Amino acid sequence: MEALAVRLSQLDAQVEGAIRVVMFYDTLMRRRVDLPALARASAGLAQCAAGIRLHGTGRAIRMAPDGREAPAPGPIPSPGTTPVTLDDEEIGEVWLERPGTPLPLDEVLLDRLALATAAVVERYGPARTTMADPALVELAVSSETDEAARARALRLLGFAAGLPVRVVAVRSQLPLDRLGVLLCPARPVKAAPVGDVGVILATTVDPSRFPDGVRAGIGAAERPDRSWQQARIALRFTAPRRPVVDHGSLGAPALLAQVPPDVMRDNADVAAIARLAACPDDVETLDAYCATGSLRRAADLLHLHHSSVARRLVQIGKALGFELTEPHGLMRAGLALMAWRLLDD
């Protein structure tokens, strides 16, 4: 390597510098440094503050050229951040806080720092990647898997024996790895696509951590196979006003998921809702009224005057064939709306 660097230096001084940067990081890897030491060495080499951030922890490691922690955020990183990738998943980013114009070798340094960071994370942690082999995830959640094979799959996924594992079924434009990190920033979590649904396995799930734009069904059982069945059912009950549904909160309406689709289509109330769907405003009004059980609260939710909502409900009741303002009519409408959405799943 040294002989190659000497020969190349006779052709281009910048190439020699790049080779020396590569050798510098190769030496760090042989010494098995941790992330703070890696950031400290990088800052010393670059003679400006260097930073490392992992998505799984959210904490930034920033070191100054003198080897101490950088006291405060520096200027906008230049030439920008470089992603850290492990197993085809972006797990973090690295950067240099160099004021002014970047130096010619900054890009090479950042590339090597990103590679070294991935190697350190793979060796020591603090976090493994979120994405998992879909076949392994499917084995863990399948009801046809025997318990010995399921336990082995969970162990390979990183879940300790005896830990409860809950399953979440999601539909989201947000990448599954980012979503998994948001849900469980400090606990074991794995994700993979299975068919047209994203699957997330975690020891705990906080429904409040789901970002906007995500539809999610959360299984209540601690066994992954049972939790997966429940998560898929809960996902079918999600709606614009209820994007995240925990199966444990469904109660008796969960039984609707067991009704054959043809039986639901033949029901007069469900068929009436299907016809009503030609007017989205009517469906939205009915949904708000069923969700609140109150004319005035539905009006507040829709940002309309209560008299306007009342007129709409009269017309909707005529289309459905029963009085919505009566308790029995409200129950019928709510169940029919749920059943119609299950057909649309």
pLDDT, tens digit, 9 for 90 and up, residues 298-315: 889 889 898 998 999 999
According to the model, what pLDDT value does residue 333 have? 94
Largest alpha-carbon pair distance within the chain? 91
**What is the share, in percent, of the chain residues with pLDDT greater than 70?**
90
Q: Cα angle at 17 between 47 and 11, to 5 degrees?
A: 155
Q: Does domain 259-344 have CATH number 1.10.10.2840?
A: yes
Report domain extents, the chain: 2-124, 134-250, 259-344
The DSSP output letter for 255 is: G
By residue count, the chain amounts to 345
Contact 243, 325 (CB under 8 A): no
What pTM value is reported for the model?
Answer: 0.63
In Å, how far are 24, 135, 154, 179, 207 from 174, measured between CA atoms? 37, 21, 25, 7, 16
Query: What average pLDDT does range 124-140 have in this prediction?
Result: 76
Q: What is the CATH number of domain 2-124?
A: 3.30.450
Alpha helix stretches (DSSP H) within 10-65: 13-30, 35-46
Using a 10 angstrom Cβ sphere, with 0-12 exposed, 13-18 middle and 19 or more buried, the burial of residue 288 is buried
Contact 317, 311 (CB under 8 A): no
pLDDT higher than threshold 90 for residue 337: yes
- Tokens at residue 103, please? 């130096």
pLDDT digits 0-9 by tens, 264-289: 999 999 999 999 989 989 999 998 99
- Tokens at residue 24, please? 């510098």
Angle between helices 306-320 and 268-276 (to 10 degrees): 130
- What whole-number distance in Å separates Cα of residue 95 and Cα of residue 73? 12
**What is the share, in percent, of the chain residues with pLDDT greater than 90?**
44
Q: How confident is the model at residue 196 (pLDDT cuts 50, 70, 90)?
A: confident
- What whole-number distance in Å separates Cα of residue 249 and Cα of residue 256? 14
Q: How confident is the model at residue 216 (pLDDT cuts 50, 70, 90)?
A: very high
